[in-house]
Amino acid sequence: MSLFSKPKYSTVVVKKKDIPKGLYTKCPISGEVVFNQELEANQMVVAKSGYHFPIGAPARIKGLFDADTFKEFDNDVKSADPLKFVDSAAYPDRIKKYERESGLPEAVICGTGKIHGIKVSVAVMDFRFCGGAMGSAVGEKITRAIERAVAEKTPCIIFSASGG
């Protein structure tokens, strides 16, 4: 073989293993692949890199309250469109889109429950619904959660996850 001749390579075909979807998540910081159950047990924090994945309102509520103590209030309060706002899409159409994408009727879930046996009122925002934007319904629901806490003389906790 001379110094200037092209070496011949052969291609090796490697079969990829089929890994069921939804079992693992890749950390955007370290590239580490983490088992989803491990992530959930660690409150959506990657142990090695310290990266925090976002937590939606339902998951936050599930992890916060004592089992079977959370009761949602004011889930019938919906955003109104008194100004008949239209941008690239009509406001009611945008709301329907956010509902479909997030699985939530609004950007906040409010209610009461117990944390270590202590009753609290809570408002938990979810960024997945329009970036947690505070429309009329969000403001109304948070106000009612605070008023409920004052009336019942209980603590009120607000988890803000709003982009504006």
pLDDT for residue 164: 63
Secondary-structure breakdown of the chain: helix, strand, coil percentages, each rounded to the nearest 5: 30, 20, 50
Rg of the chain on CA atoms, in Å: 24
pLDDT for residue 84: 78
Looking at the chain, which residues constitute the CATH 3.90.226.10 domain(s)? 54-159
Kindly list the distances between the CA atom of residue 9 and the CA atoms of 6, 12, 14, 36, 92, in Å, as whole numbers in the listed order: 9, 9, 16, 39, 61
CB neighbour burial string for 78-99, b if at least 16 within 10 angstroms, e if fewer: ebeeeeeeeeeeebeebbeebe
For residue 129, which amino acid is it? F
**CATH 2.60.120.380 given to domain 54-159:** no
Mean pLDDT per block of 10 residues along the chain (164 residues) reads 72 74 90 92 93 92 95 90 77 85 91 98 92 84 97 97 77
